[in-house]
């Protein structure tokens, strides 16, 4: 069993990951409505990835003889003004997740919960990758107008994205 404070924090992050999946589905809907199905696919895969992350927290809690607690989700942002708005929102969301993971690491360290520290190592690496991915997409989008030739090439590229487990 884990200290109550850590169990609550892990449950909160479990739910934060579910909320992130929810938000990425809304972002996919923006692109689907615009007919950019490659970008929509990218965000649907991102949503599934966040759900996968949530389930890692679920499984860890169960492994540690704790109960995962599903909380209510809030309505995600559903209206965006541009593809850049979506991607910038994605980066901000990932930065928030990174901050939450770091806070969990700090708490686990204070409580000397070494199994939790080991578990969280994977998420630190994952967050570095996630933030870099969105920074790179922002850089690419700056050189491409929405609907332009390079943007449509990115749309085709994102259509091929699949969930990697």
Does 62 fall in a domain? yes
Q: Does residue 138 belong to any structural domain of this protein? A: yes
Domain count, the chain: 1
Query: In this predicted model, what pLDDT tens digit does every residue of 61-116 receive, in sequence order?
Result: 999 999 999 999 999 999 999 999 999 999 999 999 999 999 999 999 999 999 99
Binding residues: 17, 50, 53, 94, 127
Residue 110 resides in a domain: yes
Does residue 17 form part of some domain? yes
Establish if 165 belongs to a structural domain. Answer: no
Higher pLDDT, 55 or 159: 55
pLDDT band at 140 (very low <50, low <70, confident <90, very high): confident
Question: Does residue 165 surpass a pLDDT of 70?
Answer: no
Per residue in 22-58, pLDDT (tens digit) is 999 999 999 999 999 999 999 999 999 999 999 999 9
Mean pLDDT to the nearest integer, 127-143: 92
- Range 2-8 contact pairs with CB under 8 angstroms and sequence separation of 24 or more: 2/64, 2/66, 2/113, 2/116, 3/111, 3/113, 5/107, 5/111, 6/107, 6/108, 6/111, 6/113, 6/116, 7/61, 7/64, 7/66
pLDDT of residue 154: 85
Domain of residue 113, CATH code? 1.20.1260.10
Instruction: Give the residue numbers of the binding site for Fe cation.
Output: 17, 50, 53, 94, 127
The answer to whether position 164 is within a domain reads no
Helix (H) or strand (E) holding 89: helix 83-110
Please check whether residue 137 lies inside any domain of the structure.
yes
Q: Which domain holds residue 38?
A: 4-70+79-159
Q: Please check the confidence at residue 139 and state whether its pLDDT lies above 70.
A: yes
- Domain presence at residue 114: yes
């Amino acid at each position: 069993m884990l200290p109550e404070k850590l169990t609550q924090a892990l449950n909160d992050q479990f739910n934060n990951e579910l909320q992130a999946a929810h938000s990425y589905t809304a972002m996919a809907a923006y692109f689907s409505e615009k007919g950019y199905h490659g970008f929509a696919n990218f965000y649907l895969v991102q949503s599934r990835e966040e759900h996968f992350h949530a389930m890692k927290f679920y499984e860890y809690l169960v492994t540690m003889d704790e109960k995962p607690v599903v909380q209510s989700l809030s309505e995600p942002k559903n209206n965006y003004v541009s593809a850049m708005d979506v991607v910038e929102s994605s980066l901000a969301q990932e930065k928030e997740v990174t901050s939450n993971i770091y806070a969990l690491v700090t708490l686990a360290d204070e409580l000397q919960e070494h199994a939790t520290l080991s578990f969280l190592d994977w998420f630190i690496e994952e967050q570095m990758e996630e933030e870099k991915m969105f920074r790179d997409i922002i850089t690419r989008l700056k050189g491409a107008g929405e609907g332009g030739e390079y943007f449509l090439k990115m749309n085709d590229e994102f259509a091929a994205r699949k969930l990697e487990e």
